[in-house]
Chains A and B, each alone.
Chain A
């Protein structure tokens, strides 16, 4: 695309708009390799998001100093902030790169991979641990079978609305990145606890809630939360994580007590 075309596309270029976008990327060739910074400069256009910048750099990867380099690698899919895959640390804040707009960021823009997950290459991290947590807490409804058994249980719209809030979690990991207690496998983290809440609120899910509660009761479970509240602040889906933690904490206490009495 020629620059002339670009200026035509965008009649609303602010008079103070920069001519270019400078992006510093913290890079790593492969797991275990040293990290290094590389700086890139691309022509400014209004409405660029971080993904478009990366696409532009990828086409012809040359650093700001004019040194040819390898194209930076990152993850992307929906580009609508609903799949969670493109999460990275942008100017020090963890968020989705598809919804991070250049016009709203200070330059130079720094891009770094999330730090709480193994770094695969450049901006790509391996979040399989989060899916592992979902397996561990049995984040599903134990249906008898997928054959036709008629309608499900009736539900109050109010409960549905609360469940809906939890069900929007896209496993992006922002909350874990921001949580001071979450490090390696020291703590299961708010994402999984919110899914426990989601399942335990469902009329059928309630029937197997003990399994889920037990899964979050160990040393690395719900009690590891230091109530720092960072998680809610960074969650892009505005999931009431601290409410989930509070409610499930209560449930585990009751469950623990009950379990102890029985024993």
Chain B
């Protein structure tokens, strides 16, 4: 391949982040080897719908990158290092302009300018959007530019190749990678001057999630097992309303509740009657009952926890993890007018007509805030290894805001590209090419494959995957208890042990799923332990991480990044302080100051007497609090000298959760 100076960079992953990096590197005239399990145009990024944030301020609202920065840090509950967040928000408008120039059909104003959408919980129209499929359009635009560089000879794609491991030299420096051809199962080493990992999220660890099927986190886990640090693994975002499917969870927009949808379960546990034959008096509208004022529009984190708790207590429909989201009392024409598009999605995948049959929904694992540890230039702790996109931990802290992921993926790719080039220019390459490290790593991987093919145990890998997913979903998502987290880790150890006795149930190794899945499963089990033990250790509640036994944010002890390193046995955790040099951590309170729209919601929540966030256990009337007023929380928050009331704690958390829901609320429904 023609290169000006022989620099060759391997990029693993062709989602937004990987393609963004590929385009930048190719544009600088360097060679890119681009690896992807699926053809890059079919990457998970196509699923994103809602929008991409950037403070372009076309609506005369006085929006600015600083406000975007403040919202992001605040929404993330002050767990993100602030400098890269600021840099991202500053770059965001130019990212949107670039995509516009690349031909993304962003929706327009009457003047022909870019239109921006306002997402809940913010005053600003900040998200550019392309109809109902922003992620698809952004990905395609990058795919097209990378194809152009492919034709130009700069990019070589390896689609249908899965990265198995890094090639590290004696000094723990990344010198390339080993990938497996998913048709032939051939293992091959690809030397590279630097490797950028952009493999997306790990949703499949939870069995079913809103993620695509390639989102296993396997490549990231392989890097972790080879010495890369994994940060903030315990921060997993769960969306309250997804459509449980046999194969995956699909998002159901919050607007269904906004239009009057009611959430209920049969009063009797395990009732198997069809919904329509359960009389009104035998239905439990638990949100309306527990939160008389706010009802089904109770803010998102509470909704998630309540639904979850009801099911954990055995009240889910037929004892399952499902509750009804009922729109059948609303006239069909009204529904069609206001919710048409999302109802069609439900209809297409469930087959029921939600105008006449209550929808069945459940919270769904959606996004990982945690990921590979990177510095402000997207470099991991392994020299020569960089990371960008959902697989890195850097931007979203304890909670991601809607429409912020797409922009963070592109930003990460745009920073990783020059950083990788810079690194590649300065490394010592002599002596590496001919050395045996490549053959050695291929041999090591081949041995693992051969062993899996050889062994003939009685365990079924797909059942192990299901068990892992179930344990992780039940215990390491919405509400977390230390004893259950401990048990989950024990379970994971048992599963890892049982993994040693699986057999590949496919004697035809040509284009088989069985071996790649087995390889992914092992890596998922290892990463599941990182998530679980990170959660076990963190005795506070912050962002998506919620422990009823430690219901408050504890900045004194826990405003820290969790760092997991692989010991050969499992994760060893350490903690790193968070750079909060730009915005002083403050109490999250959307009821005052700039967030006037939020204030309204908070005020009505206030009227309902929402207690501090305590999951389902709380009794939401002011005089019947189940929990004593928490002084620790107040002590932490009095930094900004605001009056701290328990009730406000509840409010602030809820507004945050509404923020995070944005992209989904705006997503499927924006066809309306």
A positions within 8 Å CB-CB of B: 5, 7-12, 29-30, 45-49, 51-52, 55, 58-61, 70-71, 73, 75-85, 98-99, 101, 103-104, 120-122, 124, 127-128, 131, 134-135, 138-143, 145-146, 148-157, 160-161, 163-164, 167-168, 170-171, 198-199, 202, 204-205
Contact = CB atoms under 8 A, between A and B. Distances in A.
B130 interface: yes
Most buried by B among A80, A142, A199: A80
20 contacts: A5-B320, A11-B318, A12-B352, A29-B508, A46-B351, A52-B245, A59-B463, A77-B44, A82-B136, A101-B351, A124-B511, A134-B144, A138-B148, A141-B101, A146-B24, A148-B97, A149-B101, A154-B111, A163-B103, A198-B103
Interface in B373-429: none
Q: Is the interface of A mostly helix, strand, loop or mixed?
A: loop
Given A47-B246, A157-B108, A164-B131, A79 B39 contact: no
A85 B42 contact: yes
B55 to A, nearest CB: 14
A206 B111 CA distance: 21
Given A9-B317, A70-B507, A151-B100, A131 B108 contact: no
Nearest to A124: B511
A204 B144 CA distance: 14
A141 B144 contact: yes
A154 B101 CA distance: 10
Interface of B: 23-24, 27, 38-39, 41-44, 46-47, 94, 97-98, 100-114, 130-131, 133, 136-137, 140, 144-145, 147-148, 150-151, 159, 183, 212-214, 245-248, 250, 270-275, 317-320, 322, 348-352, 357, 460, 462-463, 505-508, 510-514
Given A141-B102, A156-B108, A160-B106, 12 more contacts: A7-B318, A47-B352, A49-B245, A58-B513, A61-B505, A77-B38, A83-B38, A128-B39, A139-B147, A163-B103, A199-B103, A202-B103
B101 A204 contact: yes
B431 to A, nearest CB: 35
Given A12-B357, A29-B508, A141-B101, A168 B136 contact: yes
B318 A8 contact: yes
Most buried by A among B105, B114, B183, B460: B105
Contacts, number: 223
Contacts of B319: 5, 8
Contact of B110 (A45, A148, A152, A157): A157
Given A61-B505, A204-B103, A205-B103, A30 B510 contact: yes
Contact of A82 (B133, B270, B275): B133
A121 B110 CA distance: 51
A30 B506 CA distance: 13
Contacts of A10: 318
Contacts of A143: 98, 101-102, 145
Contacts of B41: 131, 170-171
A167 B135 CA distance: 12
The 9 closest A-B pairs by CB, nearest first: A8-B318, A154-B112, A152-B100, A52-B246, A140-B144, A121-B511, A83-B42, A152-B101, A164-B105
A236 to B, nearest CB: 10
A61 B511 CA distance: 16
Most buried by A among B98, B130, B147, B151: B98
A97 B467 CA distance: 25
Contacts of B248: 79-80
Nearest to B110: A157
Given A9-B317, A73-B513, A167 B105 contact: yes
A145 B27 contact: yes
Given A55-B247, A157-B110, A139 B144 contact: yes
B274 A11 contact: yes
A12 B106 CA distance: 41
B239 to A, nearest CB: 14
Nearest to B248: A79
Contact of A101 (B214, B272, B349, B506): B349
Contacts of B98: 143, 146, 148-149
Contacts of B46: 78, 82-83, 170
A146 B145 contact: yes
A162 to B, nearest CB: 9
A157 B513 CA distance: 44
A146 B417 CA distance: 12
A84 B43 CA distance: 10
A140 B39 contact: no
B42 A71 contact: no
B671 to A, nearest CB: 11
B145 A135 contact: no
A54 to B, nearest CB: 9
Nearest to B136: A82
Contacts of B513: 58, 71, 73
Contact of B47 (A75, A78, A121, A171): A78
B351 A160 contact: no
Nearest to A202: B103
Contacts of A55: 246-247, 462
Nearest to B149: A140
A106 B444 CA distance: 49
Most buried by B among A11, A142, A164: A11
Contacts of B318: 7-11
A115 to B, nearest CB: 18
Nearest to B113: A154
A120 B183 contact: yes
Contact of A80 (B24, B97, B250): B250
Contacts of B133: 82, 168
Given A9-B318, A83-B212, A146-B98, A47 B273 contact: no
Given A79-B212, A140-B145, A47 B245 contact: yes
A218 to B, nearest CB: 18
Nearest to A145: B27
A167 B140 contact: yes
A111 B23 CA distance: 38
B467 to A, nearest CB: 11
A73 B213 CA distance: 14
Contacts of A104: 351
Contacts of A153: 101
A243 B457 CA distance: 57
Contacts of B351: 46-47, 101, 103-104
Most buried by B among A61, A141, A156: A141
Nearest to A157: B108
